[in-house]
Structure 1
Amino acid sequence: MVKAQRRDWLALAVLVLPVLLISVDMTVLGFALPYLAEDLGPSGAEQLWIVDIYSFVLAGLLVLMGTLGDRIGRRKLLLAGAVAFGGASVLAAFATSPALLIAARALLGVGGATLMPSTLSLIRSIFTDPTQRRIAIAVWGSGFSGGMALGPVLGGWLLEHFWWGSVFLINVPVMLVLLVAGPFLLPEARDPSPGRFDPLSALLSLAAILPVVYGIKRFAEYGVEPLAGLSVLAGVLLGVVFVRRQRALTDPMLDLALFRNRAFSASVLTNMLGVFALVGLLFLMPQYLQLVLGLRPMTAALWLLPMTFAGVAGSLAAARLSRRLPVPWLIGGGLLVAAVGFAALVTLGVDSGLAMLVTGMALVGFGVPLSETLTNDLIITAAPPERAGAASAISETGFELGGALGTAVLGSVATAVYRSGIPADADEAARETLGGAVATAAQLPPEQAASLLAAAKESFVQGVQVSAVVGAVLLAYTGVQALVLLRGRREEPAAVATS
């Protein structure tokens, strides 16, 4: 066990850069959509694909890319991904048609899938001391949670000064830094005996995950409908085929034995449920700030910054507190703190609620990253060093699925409550979303407009309140579950890996 040196901490700084950008990319596009829609004129379906194709491809390729990094080298895959991500960013920035932008976003997903598992698995290779490794993962997690909240602020500033393509061009200089510094600062790491590569397993992993993510997003957009259900069912069935094949292979692409380790499987599940609540919250709160309280996009984004600072504080606190307190207590406690944050959001109103919103989101922003810093540490150390890439990919896949589920479930709950409060004779667009109600009201006489907006805002707030109750109950359950499943694991995660 060797203590990290100055060069290793510089390497960590390099590894945080792509994580920061990938998380920014998850949230920055929402602010650019109105501008690129005006410029490129995409149809409704094309606009959905512009938003969704990135996460579809990213989620579908994570397991494959994590395994590929174990085989060819994680640094090599990371640098190749930086080239792909930078090139795709330029293509997206100067896209002249919706089809070209969709293709560029798909390539961004490919690049992102190579970057994410490589960064976390390389941290495992560089930082062998458990305390320093937790600090490194805390910094990595801070970049991720900070980037998600930084996206709207950065996007708002760029769009006030430049054209919509600038939200993609910010990726290019960061990727250039990674390409220049990476070969000098990052060590190469791979599985010395990877075995035979199975193309069918690679195809099945993609074919299983893509329909599930697509179906979840269909549920979020259209509610319960046949295509979404069939898509999820097809993905599950293909997932069963994938699992059966992995069990039959001498050299499986995904080592299912990892899930026999309780620390690993419980941490993946805890991660997924924590992200479920966090991303669902980030889906609802910008709408509340802008459409209910009437704040400008940039002002709304600034009110989200306390959550960012709390996320950084939670990630860094995890590394410090884990020296004194049992890890299961911290993981469970962090999620229970986040549950209290969700409970605070139940008090939000139509005309007031900024103070309680900031308090609630800060508690969620602190608690979820605190727990996930430690679960990520358990995940990558529960796997053998040569399989760190595959283990990291499983963690990131759980993150993507948790985020998709959070948007789908909490978004659908809020939408269902919203629709129940809108008059039956209202325009269909007003019944679909609060944004549709605002647009419809602008075309009505003043009295009718005021009546519709009052009903729409009240219904949306009620939807947020019900979703907050669901989130609070889920996080409380997840916190208790983590305490139960990880109980007695007071030893360092490195020791857990041998169990």
Structure 2
Amino acid sequence: MRIRGRASQTGEPSLRRSLVLATLCLSLLVVSVDNTILNIALPALVRQLHATDSQLQWIVDSYAVVFGGLLLTAGGLGDRFGRKPVFLAGLLVFGAGSAGSAFAGSVGVLVASRAVMGVGAAGVMPATLSILMDVYRDPGPRARAVGLWSATTGLGIAIGPIAGGWLLSRYWWGSVFLVNVPIVVLGVAAALLLVPDSRDPEHRRADVLGVVLSVAGMSALLWAVIEIPQRGWTSPAVLGVGAVAAGLLAAFVLAERRAPEPMIVLGPFRDRRFSVAMTAVAFAVFTLMGAMFLLTQYLQFALGYSAFAAGIRILPVAGVLAVAAPLSTVLDRLAGTKAVVAAALALIGAGLWLASGTTPADGFPHLLPALLLLGCGAGLAVAPGTAAVLGALPRERAGVGSGTNGTALQVGGALGVAVLGAVLSGRYQGRMSALLAGHAMPEPARRAITGSLGGALAVAQQAGGALGTQLAAVARVAFVDGMGLAFGAAAVVAFAAAGLVLAALPSRSRSAPSRSAPSGPASGESGSVPTSAEDPRIPDPRRSRAATPPAS
């Protein structure tokens, strides 16, 4: 199949490159949406599967745990065996996990199916970015393509509740997963026809020890964090698994330093532009994912909106984010990554601080300015941060680079749900336990009331009368109080991250462009001189031979 268009440096016609980008973004959108689409269905899961707060966090985070734990491995496999095969395999596994989740009849089955979806998503996300980096080799078009990729990532997170609400207004809760299947089929068909294959031309050997240590360490770390709300910060299990995670990750770093052909290049982590930018992106997603987890429950449980009405009220986040993400690349060229990312995190912090003042008497209009600030900040942060991360690696190691960046996104999101959920649950359970102290009631009812706001509202509905009304009102007050505390804590994190960026992220280079390099901006930092990782025309001493162009 030949599509005519102006040829680029890669040999791919411009129209074909655009179709490849559209295919990659569609596939990325579906795996990004699944980070948040389930949030809008949480009340339905409480009612139909009788899930507790802890189980809700596991249902949401089981996807992120496996997704984040396997991203580095999947990126390395794509570099070695080909990005296109890994991309296609990831889509197929993701589709199978989606079908299993749609028809899950228990919390355990749903958690397991969501984990299978995470396996597939881990194959898709790094492959999309590494294929993009290989197809778009000119710095200018590549920066715009990365901006669209970043916008798709953030947009998927933001529109998940809207899509889920629309589906739940017409179908059962499993429809939020079943809708993925036809999109996966379309993505596979388009990829087979359009997407070129590429790989690391040096044919590095598989780093088996690195794979095992990275997956085990990351999974243990996320398990410990997710279990904190249920078991407590000082639980022997949490502390023990956390210590094991720290040991495994330390062993991973040592093994990668000594490995002749490591799965991840550790050198860029000494570059503050790489490490600080990655940290900033992780904090941005930490706040966005955590906020979505809390807001979708608040809108339905506390304010009484339907799933679709709640999803519509998340639309301002998606709309502002969709505008801000492409705009961030322009601002990056004008002001530099440091200024843009710091300002973005400050906007996120301001929005969360405003939301932390929400009271039970406040309605949605009080939250609207906070949502606008949150969406704008998240949209401005991701693209420049991602471009700065990728600029530190040679193009043929783009799979590992995108896997490292994707791991930061997923770990940040999982920690956001777990940490903010822990703060909310701790305050809510403390308030409700104190209220129920000294009152005789069946133990199942007590567990339901303290387990989640949804459980308390269900008990209140069964009790009826003045007692039920009073219980529902008190439970909503306790939930909103816990949500405000969680938002306040997230705001502090966002402001601290903005300070870190201002203090540690290097400013853009003031040096004059090299004659051998294009005068335009490189990927991510306005005015900086492109390195070999950013422009394939500049020789890279780390390469034994030039990268081969992708097959058409």
Q: Is residue 10–residue 185 contact of structure 1 (8 Å, CA) maintained in 2?
A: yes
1:140 aligns with 2:159: no
Q: Distance in 1 between matches of 2:351 and 2:225?
A: 26
| Residue number among 418, 432, 454 corresponding to 1:435 in the alignment | 454
Question: What CA distance in whole angstroms lies between the structure 2 residues aligned with 1:116 and 1:489?
Answer: 28
1:480 aligned to which of 499, 518, 523: 499
Q: What SS does the corresponding residue of 2:335 show, helix, strand or coil? A: coil
The equivalent of 1:447 in structure 2 is 466
For the 8 Å contact 2:220–2:241, the answer to whether it is kept is: yes
**Which whole-Å CA distance do the structure 2 matches of 1:154 and 1:206 have between them?**
31
The answer (yes or no) to whether the contact 2:213–2:252 under 8 Å persists in 1 is yes
Partner of 1:404: 414
One-letter identity of the residue aligned with 2:481: Q
Decide whether the 8 Å contact of 2:356 with 2:488 is kept in 1: yes
What CA distance in whole angstroms lies between the structure 1 residues aligned with 2:104 and 2:481?
40
Deviations 1:203-229 (A, max 9, x none): 111111111111111113443222222
Distance in 1, matches of 2:470 and 2:107, equals 37
Q: Summarize deviations over 1:175-220 as a string: whole Å, max 9, x none.
A: 2222222234322221111422132221111111111111111113
1:250 aligns with 2:260: yes
How many angstroms apart in 1 are the aligned matches of 2:117 and 2:22?
A: 22
Is 1:308–2:321 an aligned residue pair?
Answer: no
- Equivalent residue number for residue 549 of structure 2: none
Residues of 2 paired with 1:29 and 1:444: CA distance? 29
Q: Distance in 2 between matches of 1:90 and 1:423?
A: 39
**Secondary structure of the structure 1 residue equivalent to 2:293:** helix
Kindly indicate whether the alpha-carbon contact (under 8 Å) linking 2:52 and 2:452 is maintained by their aligned counterparts in 1. no
2:423–2:482 CA contact under 8 A, matched in 1: yes
Q: Secondary structure at the match of 1:383?
A: coil
Higher helix share: 1
Query: For 1:293 and 1:52, how far apart are their aligned partners in 2?
Result: 25
CA contact (8 A) 2:283 2:412 kept: yes
Question: Does 2:80 correspond to 1:71?
Answer: yes
Q: Residue type matched to 1:259 in 2?
A: F
Letter in 1 for 2:475: A
* Deviation per residue, 1:248-284 (Å, 9 max, x gap): 1111112111212221111111111111111111111
Question: 1:161–1:433: structure 2 CA closer, same or farther, 3 Å change rule?
Answer: closer
Q: Whole-Å Cα distance in 2 between the matches of residues 336 and 38 of structure 1?
A: 38
Asked whether the 8 Å contact 1:121–1:392 carries over to 2, the reply is yes
Cα distance in 1 between the residues matched to 2:500 and 2:530: 19
Q: Alignment partner for residue 220 of structure 2, among 211, 221, 245?
A: 211
Cα offsets for 1:455-475 (capped at 9, x unmatched):
322222222222222222221
Distance (Å, rounded) in 2 between the aligned partners of 1:102 and 1:419: 24
Letter of the 1:303 counterpart: R
**1:93–1:165 CA contact under 8 A, matched in 2:** yes
Give the one of 395, 406, 413 matched to 2:423: 413
- For structure 2, the 5+ residue unaligned runs are 1-7, 437-445, 511-520, 524-528, 534-552
Structure 1: how far apart are the matches of 2:169 and 2:459? 26
Return the alpha-carbon distance in structure 1 between the equivalents of residues 462 and 362 of structure 2.
Answer: 27
User: Residue 270 of structure 2: which of 260, 264, 277 is its match?
Assistant: 260
Q: Distance in 2 between matches of 1:35 and 1:417?
A: 23
Task: List, as ranges, runs of 4+ consecutive aligned residues in structure 1 with deviation greater than 6 Å.
Answer: 36-48, 96-99
The CA distance in 2 between the partners of 1:468 and 1:99, in whole Å, is: 30
1:18-44 deviation per Cα after TM superposition (whole angstroms, max 9, x unaligned):
211112222223445666788789999
After TM superposition, the structure 1 stretch with the greater mean CA deviation from structure 2, 420-429 or 380-389, is 420-429
Q: CA offsets per residue over residues 231-264 of structure 1, 9 Å max, x none?
A: 2221111111111111111111121112122211
Q: Which residue of 2 aligns with 1:394?
A: 404
Secondary structure of the 1:125 match is: helix
Asked whether 1:150 is paired with 2:159, we answer yes
Tell me the amino acid that sits aligned with residue 484 of structure 1. Answer: A
Note closer, same or farther for the CA distance 1:76–1:448 as it changes in structure 2 (3 Å cut): same
Q: Which residue of 2 aligns with 1:352?
A: 362
User: In the aligned structure 2, how far is the partner of 1:249 from the partner of 1:462?
Assistant: 50
1:39-68 per-position Cα deviation (integer Å, ceiling 9, x unaligned): 789999987765443222212211100111
Alignment CA distance shift 1:244-1:21 (3 Å) = same
Question: Size of the alignment, in residue pairs?
Answer: 499
**Cα distance in 2 for residues equivalent to 1:408 and 1:493:** 36
- In the other structure, the counterpart of 1:340 is 350
Residue 295 of structure 1 aligns to a residue in which SS? coil
In structure 2, what is the equivalent of residue 277 of structure 1? 287
Compute the TM-score of the two structures, normalised by the length of structure 2: 0.83
Q: Which amino acid in structure 1 is aligned with residue 452 of structure 2?
A: T
2:34 to 25, 33, 36: 25
**What amino acid is the match of 1:288?**
Y
> Deviation per CA, 1:374-400, whole angstroms, max 9, x where unpaired?
111111121111111101111111111
Select 1:62's aligned residue among 71, 76, 90. Answer: 71
Which of 216, 231, 236 lines up with 2:241 in the alignment?
231
Quick check: 1:208–1:239 contact (8 Å CA) kept in 2? Answer: yes
**1:480-499 to 2 correspondence within 5 Å?**
480-490=499-509, 492-494=521-523, 495=529, 497=531
User: SS at 1:382's partner residue?
Assistant: coil
Match for 1:450: what amino acid?
T
Q: 1:333 to 1:150 in 2, by over 3 A?
A: same
CA apart distance, 1:450: 3.1
1:192 and 1:478, CA in 2 relative to 1: closer, same or farther beyond 3 A?
Answer: same
- Which secondary structure does the structure 2 equivalent of 1:347 belong to? coil
Q: Partners in 1 of 2:174 and 2:281 — Cα distance? A: 33
Distance change in 2, residues 1:45/1:366 (3 Å): closer
What TM-score comes out, normalization by structure 1 length? 0.92
CA–CA distance in 2 between the matches of 1:419 and 1:364?
27
Contact kept? 1:21, 1:171, Cα under 8 Å: yes
> 1:421, 1:98 → 2: CA distance?
27
In 2, distance between residues paired with 1:275 and 1:486?
Answer: 18
